[in-house]
Structure 1
């Protein structure tokens, strides 16, 4: 027999903001990967993604919002 558990969390307003920022960043990376894959390229490796989105993307003006991201508990 398999057990099933259900969990629910109630984040504070600052945690909600942090989670929204986190999932927004995840969505940007996901969309990039999908566009690369549909363009006929291979799935990007983790190292490439980290270099593009953590290091280089912060320097781009359209991704300047990434510079100021912190999640506070």
Structure 2
């Protein structure tokens, strides 16, 4: 979790671990907590977004793998 102490406390209390946040505006802890909870309530699942856009959910594809041998460096 990369966040300020107030946001970090909220995110860790709900069990989130892979998060980056930036607070703009108020530094008041109560306002930051309220904004963080509001943002968490707005999160949607990928399936919900696809359904709202009328898209089909494709099967999960494995990401492409890097080549076994890196190409030779180009000298100038």
TM (norm. structure 2) is 0.29
Structure number with the bigger relative contact order (C-alpha 8 A, sep ≥ 6) is 1
TM (norm. structure 1) is 0.30
Report the structure, 1 or 2, having the larger helix content: 1
